[in-house]
């Protein structure tokens, strides 16, 4: 019975450690970005969307022909 108790205690400690690491990660991820970073993210997002639309247009032209 003692072995089971010690194993459960070790698992509990490991889960607590993982929870702390996950919380620290979330705290870092939630920090607000500065203005140049937000602008760069928006530019990259727009460029990605335009690339996707261009690819769809090329495939559409292949299928329809023209």
Stated pTM of the model: 0.47
Which residues does the chain have with pLDDT short of 70? 1, 32, 66
Residue 18 pLDDT: 92
Domain that holds residue 40: 33-66
Determine the pLDDT at residue 66.
65
| 39 and 61 in a common domain | yes
Is residue 12 classed as helix, strand or coil in its secondary structure? helix
User: Looking at the 3D structure of the chain, how many domains does it have?
Assistant: 2
HEC string for 20-66: HHHHHHHHHHCCCCCHHHHHHHHHHHHHHHHHHHHHHHHHHHHHHCC
44 and 26 in one domain? no
- State phi, psi for 30 to the nearest 5 degrees: -85, 0
For position 56, what pLDDT does the model report?
A: 92
Q: What is the pLDDT, as a whole number, of residue 46? A: 95
The secondary structure of residue 9, as a DSSP letter, is H
């Amino acid at each position: 019975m003692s072995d089971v108790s010690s194993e459960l205690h070790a698992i509990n400690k490991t889960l607590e450690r993982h929870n702390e690491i996950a919380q620290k990660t979330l705290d870092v991820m939630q920090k607000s970005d500065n203005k140049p970073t937000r602008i760069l993210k928006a530019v990259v997002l727009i460029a990605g969307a335009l690339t996707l639309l261009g690819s769809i247009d090329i495939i559409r032209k292949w299928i329809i022909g023209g």
